[in-house]
Amino acid sequence: KIYKVDTSDFRHMDEYLRFDRRFEHIKPERRSIVHAWTQKEFTSLLKLQQHAVNVPSPQIAKENVLVMEFIGTKEGEAAPKLKDSHIQNIQLFYAALIQNIVHMLEAKLIHGDLSDYNILVKDDMPVIIDVGQGIPTIHPNAKKFYERDLNNMLKVLHRHGMKELTFEQFYEDIKQTKERKR
């Protein structure tokens, strides 16, 4: 993954970097912010992987380049985004999605942009991608981003046939799964 220094929306990136102590020292200039964003996605992937979130395995990050595991077939076909997928067993997918969200919370990270564009589907299971905008759960906007993530996913789950699922039930399913893990 290569972040283009000249075309990246670095002002948008700043909103996610601002309250992350790891990046307080970053100069407010485009190149520094894009390099920090690359490091941020790399370290977030590592942290999520350590907490059993199904993410591509990060290999190395240098300047504006992030190398990570390819998610797809042995023949080189990339796994489709959720927006382009038909899920065979939506209940199984939903359970796996909840597990991934619980593991993200255990890692003390909020995705910040969870949607059907940022989830790949491999073997009918979710693979979470694009975690550069992930924020710590102590971030002042963490609750707002978490609820936005859940609302985004609720709309996606409705499109995939779970029309009866409410935000409250989704939230409760995550909470109960988290409590069972204790």
Active site residue 9: no
DSSP H helical segments within the chain, as ranges? Answer: 10-17, 30-50, 90-106, 142-159, 167-181
Question: Rounded to 10 degrees, what is the CA torsion of 96, 99, 104, 105?
Answer: 150
130 is catalytic: yes
- Pair of tokens at residue 73: 């077939």
Question: Looking at 14, 20, 84, 130, which residue is catalytic?
Answer: 130
Query: Which position among 113, 116, 123, 124 bears the catalytic label?
Result: 113
Those residues whose C-beta lies under 8 Å from the C-beta of residue 137, and which sit 6 or more positions away, are 105, 108, 109, 110, 146
Query: d(Cα 127, Cα 52) in Å, to the nearest integer?
Result: 11
Which are the catalytic amino acids? 113, 130
